[in-house]
A = this chain, B = another copy of it.
Amino acid sequence: MTQDQLSTTFHALADPTRRAILASLTTGEKTVSDLAEPFDMTMPAITKHLKVLEKAKLIERSKQAQYRPCHLNPEPLKDIDKWMEQYRKFWEASFDRLDDYLQQLQTKDKDDE
């Protein structure tokens, strides 16, 4: 299956190493070695994680001499935020109000018939 963009993004985020890399990039551009430093992991493993993040468009890369600096691209996160919108009411309301809301939905269903 050719993955949809949202699935690709969620998948990229479903790994603690990749999330830590993203967090590390919030303070600015970093080289691969910089990013690899905190992890008990070989460089090729980091390269692969970066490829996953790049395919998800969560990072972008450039060239500076023998370095391949990475920087954060927040767009896909924004898309996730938009996706979350439909669920916010489920935790932003008190339980009473959620109950009301569901009640309302059911009533609405009946109206539709």
Chain A interfacial positions (CB closer than 8 Å to B): 4, 6-8, 10-11, 13-16, 19, 22-23, 26-28, 72, 74-75, 77-78, 80-81, 83-84, 86-88, 90-91, 102, 105-106, 109
Contacts and interface: CB of A to CB of B under 8 A. Distances in A.
23 contacts: A4-B16, A8-B14, A10-B11, A10-B13, A10-B14, A11-B11, A11-B14, A14-B14, A19-B83, A22-B87, A23-B86, A26-B90, A27-B109, A28-B102, A28-B106, A72-B87, A72-B90, A74-B87, A74-B90, A77-B90, A77-B91, A81-B88, A84-B84
A75 to B, nearest CB: 7
A15 to B, nearest CB: 6
Nearest to A106: B28
Contacts of A10: 10-11, 13-14
How many copies of this chain does the complex contain? 2
Contact of A87 (B11, B26, B27, B91): B26
Given A77-B87, A81-B88, 6 more contacts: A6-B16, A10-B14, A28-B102, A72-B90, A77-B84, A84-B84
